[in-house]
Amino acid sequence: MPLDPLPELMVEPIVRAALLEDLGRAGDITTDAVVPPGHESRLALAARQPGVVAGLDCARLAFRLLDGGVRFTPCVTDGTAVEPGTVLAQVEGPSRALLTGERTGLNLACRLSGIATATAGLVAAIAGHKAQIVCTRKTTPGLRSLEKYAVRAGGGANHRFGLDDAVLIKDNHVAIAGSVREAVSRVRARAGHMVKVEVEVDTLAQLEELLTIGADAVLLDNMTPQTLAEAVRMVGGRMLTEASGRVNRDTAPAIAASGVDLISVGWLTHSAPILDIGLDWVG
């Protein structure tokens, strides 16, 4: 399925805030001193590691917001797997804007491409199973929409975006309510009929209690592959099953083989390493 880009209306405020953070109170005092007004350059945005690209629009905006005369020509699209040396985009225009916007553009492109690359690795690790890799709300404050977009660029899918678009009853909710049944009952009395309800369970006993009430999905937290397989058998297709906890490229295949529908992974958006991308002077 083609990857739909984020609307520029959503991306621009994030990039603008990052530029303002970098420009500070006096702007780029180094570039303004060294580079004369009117000077133009050609630069190439290039991958220095193998990976999956995401965030090219962020890089484009980092330059274009500084000077509308910058010409940013992408050579690949987000979601593309690349090798070291692959040119991702050609950038031409006023040298001051190119040098001043370089770090902001690279910070965002490297970060998002790193998330896309890590996601693609997990997707490849569970190939052949029905499970889908999904992200969580463990995102960098202010960057959630971009980081969740990067997960999609890597072939994954998104869990809820915030606290307001779906119910997820977790262990502390259950502890305060007193039981899974009571927590679900309170939610059903308050949430609208369009709101999906998911419940986190830590044991098969909790799952058994949940099955007497029903929900749209169950989050099976930190269970072994064997326990997950038994949980899937117990659910019998009556709700979506989601596994979480201790997921990496080594453990993901066994988790997927349990038959779960979803595998949620927090580190994709909070700890994935960047993809090294450089901006090289061409002329």
Q: Which residues are catalytic?
A: 103, 138, 170, 200, 221
Token output for 198: 């998911």
Q: Report the alpha-carbon distance of residue 33 to residue 31 in Å, rounded.
A: 5
191 contacts 197 by C-beta, under 8 angstroms: yes
Per-residue three-class SS string for 37-65: CCCEEEEEEEECCCEECCCHHHHHHHHHC
For strand 40-47 and strand 87-94, is the pairing parallel, antiparallel, or unpaired? antiparallel
Q: Report the alpha-carbon distance of residue 159 to residue 136 in Å, rounded.
A: 6
Contacts of 139 (CB under 8 A, 6+ apart): 147, 148, 269, 270
How many Cβ atoms sit within 10 Å of the Cβ of residue 40?
15
Token output for 277: 């991308």
**Residue of 85, 108, 106, 76 lying closest to 3 (CA atoms):** 76
Contacts of 55 (CB under 8 A, 6+ apart): 78, 108, 109, 110, 111, 112, 113, 146, 150
